[in-house]
């Protein structure tokens, strides 16, 4: 069977997401086996944002000008470099740090360029019935599947297989290598334009000036990975003493699988809720975020296994809905010549949430995790209020514009 063009790019996006998240369930291993402190481990979790954000903000706009393939092919190659460094660097925080940065560079390119490329390959002439599919959903499902499967496989290998600090990363090499060749054969959708201006001119993203992006999309974006990190980084760490060292890594992998699994399967709902001009899909996602934070309050207060798994599932639903809804908004707002650039800005805002575990680990010295999750629910509710205000302001501006047009002779 002939591989569809979007599937070629999707394979690379899944591969770099796999490599970006196979580290996450191993946080327990680095803390218990290698003896690193919790703050150091959480720092390593957030470190790859240092690679992601520059790759997003530079790679996305450049691909709008110079083409998708040129910027996407290096992504799985960088992911392989990152996996090799992580595999050999268990005893060195510095090597782990550098490996995480390479994983971040790979994921940043994949998310900005790959998401935009998949969207374009989901339209004519590459798709016979584009009205029946969603490029945003295809991209977000590929990303979520890579995150979930990478975490689950790494946890299982680290818990039950030999070479627990090495083998989990080697699997990513086997996935990334064919992805390089698959993505190299995908049709180019953004051919290089000439002449090229200065680099800074390439990085300008006109769509970021839009009111809807900053008052509707931006307030929700950090909750994408704020939810995910709460589900598969904070809660497993709190449960470490309950689960015990024997199955701690496997339980961490299970939490990743539950949270991201629910995030995967809830995403089609975001497509059905989505309406042009409405914030319904994003609002439902933020409602799930608030419910997830409240569930995490109970889970962190009781450390009950069933409640912890339930909280992870609800947080995963918040992650999935806000991710796919945000991408749908971005693809609606952006113009063809700055789609990857605006996608990059959106993803950069989502990764603010990855600093949540490190910040909470520091603040938990002064208060308890249940109160921290209560604060999270309150802040999420305030963000939803900002989104509602932004939508009302947008409607009022449109009404005034239409009234002025009608009053003209």
Backbone angles phi, psi at 277, to 5 degrees: 90, -15
Q: 260: closest CA among 302, 218, 287, 230?
A: 230
Across the chain, mean pLDDT equals 87
Residue 125 preceded by cis peptide, ω within 30: yes
- Locate CATH 1.20.1250.20 in the chain: 1-185, 205-408
CB atoms inside a 10 Å sphere around CB 277: 11
- Residue 199 has a pLDDT of 54
Residue 195 preceded by cis peptide, ω within 30: yes
Percent of the chain with pLDDT over 70: 92
Classify domain 1-185 by CATH architecture.
Up-down Bundle (1.20)
CB atoms inside a 10 Å sphere around CB 101: 21
- Residue 301 has a pLDDT of 96
Give the contacts of 212 (CB within 8 A, at least 6 positions apart).
329, 333, 390, 394
Q: Selecting from 3.40.462.10, 1.20.1250.20, 3.40.50.300, 1.10.3720.10, what CATH number does the domain 205-408 have?
A: 1.20.1250.20
pLDDT digits (tens, 9 = 90+) for 62-120: 888 888 999 999 999 999 999 999 999 888 889 999 999 999 999 999 998 999 999 99
Q: How many residues does the chain have?
A: 409
User: What does R_g of the chain's alpha carbons equal in angstroms?
Assistant: 21
DSSP-based helix, strand, coil % in the chain, nearest 5: 80, 0, 20
Classify 254 as helix, strand or coil: helix
Let me know: does 286 contact 387? Beta carbons within 8 Å. yes
Percent of the chain with pLDDT over 90: 52
The b-or-e profile of 322-342 (16+ CB within 10 A means b, else e) is: bbbbbbbbbbebbeeebbbbb
- Residue 406 has a pLDDT of 41
pLDDT digits (tens, 9 = 90+) for 144-169: 999 999 999 999 999 999 999 999 99
The b-or-e profile of 68-83 (16+ CB within 10 A means b, else e) is: bbebbbbbbbbbbbbb
pTM of this prediction? Answer: 0.84
Q: What is the DSSP letter of 132?
A: G
CA distance linking residue 18 with residue 82, whole number of Å: 12
When pLDDT is averaged across residues 298-303 and rounded to a whole number, the result is 96
pLDDT digits (tens, 9 = 90+) for 253-272: 999 999 999 999 999 888 78
Let me know: does 109 contact 78? Beta carbons within 8 Å. yes
Distances (CA, A) of 236 to 226, 343, 358: 15, 31, 14
CA distance linking residue 221 with residue 286, whole number of Å: 10
- What band does 178 get if pLDDT is binned at 50, 70 and 90? very high
CA distance linking residue 55 with residue 71, whole number of Å: 10
Let me know: does 334 contact 208? Beta carbons within 8 Å. no
pLDDT digits (tens, 9 = 90+) for 25-67: 888 888 877 778 877 887 887 788 889 989 988 888 888 888 8
CB atoms inside a 10 Å sphere around CB 31: 18
Let me know: does 135 contact 121? Beta carbons within 8 Å. yes
* Angle, CA of 370, 311 and 330, to the nearest 5°: 105
- Residue 34 has a pLDDT of 73
Let me know: does 96 contact 79? Beta carbons within 8 Å. no
Let me know: does 323 contact 267? Beta carbons within 8 Å. yes
CA distance linking residue 133 with residue 131, whole number of Å: 6
């Amino acid at each position: 069977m002939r591989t569809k063009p979007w599937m070629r790019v999707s394979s690379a996006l899944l591969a770099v997401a796999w490599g970006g998240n196979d580290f996450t369930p191993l946080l327990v291993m680095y803390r218990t086996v290698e003896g690193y402190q919790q703050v150091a481990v959480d720092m390593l979790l957030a470190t790859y944002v240092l690679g992601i954000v520059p790759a997003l903000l530079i790679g996305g706009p450049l691909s709008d000008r110079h083409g998708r393939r040129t910027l996407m092919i290096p992504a799985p190659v960088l992911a392989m470099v990152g996996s090799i460094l992580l595999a050999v660097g268990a005893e060195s925080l510095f090597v782990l740090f550098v490996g995480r940065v390479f994983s971040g560079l790979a994921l940043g390119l994949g998310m900005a360029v790959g998401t935009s490329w998949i969207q374009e390959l989901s339209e004519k002439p590459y798709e016979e019935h584009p009205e029946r599919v969603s490029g945003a959903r295809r991209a977000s499902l590929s990303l979520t599947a890579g995150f979930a499967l990478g975490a689950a496989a790494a946890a299982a290998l680290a818990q039950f297989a030999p070479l627990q600090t090495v083998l989990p990363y080697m699997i990513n090499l086997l996935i990334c290598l064919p992805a390089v060749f698959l993505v190299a054969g995908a049709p180019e959708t953004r051919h290089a334009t000439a002449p090229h201006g200065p680099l800074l001119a390439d990085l300008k993203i006109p769509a970021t000036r839009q009111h809807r992006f900053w008052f509707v999309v931006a307030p929700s974006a950090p909750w994408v990975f704020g939810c995910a990190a709460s589900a598969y980084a904070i809660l497993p760490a709190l449960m470490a003493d309950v689960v015990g060292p024997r199955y701690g890594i496997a339980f961490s992998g299970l939490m990743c699988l539950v949270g991201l699994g629910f995030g995967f399967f809830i995403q089609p709902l975001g497509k059905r809720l989505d309406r042009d001009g409405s914030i319904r899909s994003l609002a439902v996602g933020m409602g799930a975020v608030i419910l997830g934070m409240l569930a995490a309050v109970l889970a962190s207060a009781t450390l009950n296994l069933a409640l912890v798994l339930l909280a992870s599932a609800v947080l995963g639903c918040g992650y999935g809905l806000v991710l796919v809804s945000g991408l749908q908004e971005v693809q609606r707002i952006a113009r063809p010549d700055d789609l990857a650039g605006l996608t990059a800005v959106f993803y950069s805002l989502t990764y603010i949430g990855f600093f949540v575990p490190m910040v909470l680990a520091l603040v938990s010295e002064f208060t308890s995790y249940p109160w921290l999750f209560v604060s999270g629910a309150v802040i999420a509710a305030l963000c939803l209020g900002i989104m509602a205000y932004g939508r009302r302001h947008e409607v009022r501006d449109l009404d005034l514009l239409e009234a002025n047009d009608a009053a003209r002779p």
